[in-house]
């Protein structure tokens, strides 16, 4: 079985939108979204520098817009099996919800814009940040976090946790890091997915009252617990609440494994989630969809998966990569 993944903030890079604008209708799509949310997504995705697209208020709608632009083009070229699950990381969960049919693409981009703006506003209220903690004993790490009043914001699997809180507490963590760990400060504006984002959650809850969510048309995993959510209203509630709750990507990957997923395709800006899957779900075929040239590889991968099901046989990862070539 193949799964579709949607990345979150931090996956962006300058110029990432440029090759996708060459697709038929892509420029019109981006211009319509830009007008709707009051941001020049075309300029941000083609010309703006790394510092400009690091701004939370613009990064989030830009990442979601690119993921959905690619997902729509992929859907025009190949039929993704209806049983194929989809999961998104942090703001990528909005793109995943749109691909699953819970929200329209227009609604997802607009919600991402509100989310980014409100989270940026919450970041300005206190000097906070995030750091990655790599390795170590989980119990030891949690004990130090509790002592320093830091929160676990992302459980990314593969021995990686992202923690968040005040800048003073993060500095203390770096100075007295738990045994056998590396602590890496992250270039983000604040403590995402923690109590510090409570003002953003309240604003999102008010905005969400304008939306009518539909039930997912395909298996949709939730960052909250990694479980498949089949109720659209519940998923919308989770999308709002996730800004103050940790991303359990480790549990999402565990669910992908339990669903017997043998291959993943990551929507652009791709790469981060692909790396986590490679380290955590051994033997899974992974494909990072970075440019339109990769679309044919996805089509070949999907056809190879379908052929496997029809024949009632299993192929190794190498076999599937041969199918993609």
- Domain boundary residue among 143, 158, 185? 185
Catalytic annotation, residues: 90, 193
In tens, the pLDDT along 136-168 reads 998 899 999 999 999 999 999 978 899 999 999
| Confidence (pLDDT) at 305 | 67
Q: Residue 195: phi, psi to the nearest 5?
A: -60, -20
How much of the chain exceeds pLDDT 90, in percent? 83
Mean of pLDDT over the chain: 91
CATH number at residue 141: 3.30.70.250
Give residue 191's pLDDT band: very low, low, confident or very high (50, 70, 90).
very high
Same domain, 234 and 115: yes
Report which DSSP code applies to 219: -
* 111, 239 contact by CB (below 8 A): yes
| Host domain of residue 134 | 128-185
**Is residue 307 pLDDT above 70, yes or no?**
no
Same domain, 213 and 256: yes
- Tell me the C-alpha to C-alpha distance, in Å, between residue 307 and each of 75, 86, 139, 288, 316: 19, 21, 45, 21, 13
Same domain, 149 and 202: no
Cβ-in-10-Å burial (0-12, 13-18, 19+) of 131 comes to: buried
**Is residue 112 pLDDT above 70, yes or no?**
yes
Residue showing tokens 């814009």: 113
Q: Is the dihedral of CA 209, 4, 215, 65 positive or negative?
A: positive
| Confidence (pLDDT) at 325 | 25
| Confidence (pLDDT) at 264 | 96
Same domain, 221 and 283: yes
Structure tokens at 252: 């999402």
DSSP 107-146: HHHHHHHHHHHHHHHHHTTS-EEEEEEEES-HHHHHHHHH
| Confidence (pLDDT) at 306 | 57
Q: Residue 264: phi, psi to the nearest 5?
A: -130, 145
Among 32, 24, 4, 28, residue whose Cα is nearest residue 76: 24
CA angle 126, 127, 131 (to 5 degrees): 125
Structure tokens at 278: 């490679």
Report which DSSP code applies to 196: G
| Confidence (pLDDT) at 152 | 95
In tens, the pLDDT along 40-77 reads 999 999 999 999 999 999 999 999 999 999 999 999 98
Same domain, 110 and 82: yes
Please give the Cα distance from 72 to 68 (Å, whole number): 6
Q: What is the largest CA-CA distance in the chain?
A: 59
Provide the number of structural domains found in the chain.
2
Average pLDDT over residues 289-309: 79
**Is residue 298 pLDDT above 80, yes or no?**
yes
CATH number at residue 63: 3.40.366.10
Please give the Cα distance from 94 to 108 (Å, whole number): 6
Strand partners, 178: none
**Is residue 240 pLDDT above 70, yes or no?**
yes
- Domain boundary residue among 140, 164, 185? 185
Same domain, 172 and 268: no
In tens, the pLDDT along 194-229 reads 999 999 999 999 999 999 999 999 999 999 999 999
- Domain boundary residue among 185, 204, 221? 185
Same domain, 198 and 265: yes
Same domain, 146 and 265: no
Same domain, 148 and 218: no
Same domain, 109 and 137: no
Same domain, 18 and 156: no
Cis peptide before 291 (omega within 30 of 0): no
Conformational region of residue 77, where left means phi above 0, alpha means psi within -120 to 50, and beta covers everything else: alpha
Same domain, 203 and 265: yes
């Amino acid at each position: 079985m193949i799964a579709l993944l949607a990345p979150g903030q931090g996956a962006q890079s300058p110029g990432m939108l440029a090759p996708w604008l060459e697709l038929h209708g892509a420029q019109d799509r981006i211009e319509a979204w830009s007008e709707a949310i009051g941001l020049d997504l075309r300029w941000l995705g083609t010309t703006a520098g790394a510092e400009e697209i690091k701004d939370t208020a613009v990064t989030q709608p830009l990442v979601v817009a690119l993921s959905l632009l690619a997902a729509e083009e992929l859907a025009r070229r190949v039929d993704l099996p209806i049983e194929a699950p989809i999961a998104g990381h942090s703001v990528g969960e909005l793109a995943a919800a749109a691909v699953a049919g819970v929200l329209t693409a227009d609604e997802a981009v607009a919600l991402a814009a509100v989310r980014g703006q409100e989270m940026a506003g919450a970041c300005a209220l206190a000097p906070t940040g995030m750091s990655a903690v790599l390795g170590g004993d989980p119990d030891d790490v949690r004990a130090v976090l509790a002592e320093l009043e830091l929160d676990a914001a992302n459980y990314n699997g593969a021995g990686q946790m992202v923690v968040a809180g005040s800048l003073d507490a993060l500095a203390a963590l770096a100075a007295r890091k738990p045994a056998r760990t590396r602590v890496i400060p992250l270039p983000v504006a604040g403590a995402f997915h923690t109590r510090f984002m409570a003002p953003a959650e309240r604003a999102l809850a008010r905005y969400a009252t304008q939306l009518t969510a539909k039930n997912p048309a395909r298996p949709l995993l939730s960052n909250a617990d990694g479980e498949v959510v089949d109720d659209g209203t519940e998923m919308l509630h989770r999308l709002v609440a996730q800004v103050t709750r940790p991303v359990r990507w480790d549990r999402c990957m565990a669910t992908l494994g339990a669903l017997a997923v043998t291959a993943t395709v990551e929507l652009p800006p791709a790469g981060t989630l692909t790396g986590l899957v490679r380290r955590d779900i051994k033997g899974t075929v992974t494909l990072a969809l970075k440019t339109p040239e990769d679309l044919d590889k996805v089509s070949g991968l999907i056809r190879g998966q379908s052929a496997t099901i029809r024949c009632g046989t299993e192929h190794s990862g190498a076999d599937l990569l041969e199918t993609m070539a």
